[in-house]
Amino acid sequence: DAGVIQSPRHEVTEMGQEVTLRCKPISGHNSLFWYRQTMMRGLELLIYFNNNVPIDDSGMPEDRFSAKMPNASFSTLKIQPSEPRDSAVYFCASSLGRAVEKLFFGSGTQLSVL
């Protein structure tokens, strides 16, 4: 298995632009997580899906952020409009079942908003 696949690996954009981050979880995993990592705030859970349904989106910072999981093999995290404070590494992770007992992380997307 290729593991959790995220794209793009790096994204540089200008303030106000729309950014879409993509994630393909490990086949057979039915829980998917989006985390954000910054030096100041560490790793923050943004949203958690189980069987393609959002279970906990309390970490989504504001309405500029949205996440979708149209099927079991694909998820997107969209920021519109982007702001410099959104600059961070965004990780997608997946796990088997509902329990958060062993997350498999992708390599992350390094987002820079200028």
Partner 1 sequence: SQQGEEDPQALSIQEGENATMNCSYKTSINNLQWYRQNSGRGLVHLILIRSNEREKHSGRLRVTLDTSKKSSSLLITASRAADTASYFCAKETSGSRLTFGEGTQLTVNP
> DSSP readout, 34-52?
EEEEETTTEEEEEEEEETT
The helix or strand, by DSSP H or E, that contains position 102, with its residue range, turns out to be none
Examine residue 18 and tell whether it contacts partner 1 (CB under 8 A).
Answer: no
Examine residue 91 and tell whether it contacts partner 1 (CB under 8 A).
Answer: yes
Pairwise CA distance, residues 48 & 57, whole Å? 6
CB of 17 to partner 1, least distance (A): 24
Examine residue 2 and tell whether it contacts partner 1 (CB under 8 A).
Answer: no
Which residue from 18, 38, 51, 56 is in contact with partner 1, where contact means CB under 8 A? Answer: 56
Work out whether strand 19-24 and strand 53-56 pair parallel, antiparallel, or are unpaired: unpaired
Closer residue to partner 1 (CB): 41 or 62: 41
Which residue from 57, 68, 104, 112 is in contact with partner 1, where contact means CB under 8 A? Answer: 104
Pairwise CA distance, residues 34 & 45, whole Å? 6
Closer residue to partner 1 (CB): 4 or 19: 4
Contacts of 39 by beta carbon, 8 Å cutoff, 6+ apart: none
Binding footprint of partner 1 on the chain (CB under 8 A): 4, 33, 35, 41-43, 45, 48, 55-56, 91, 93, 98-108
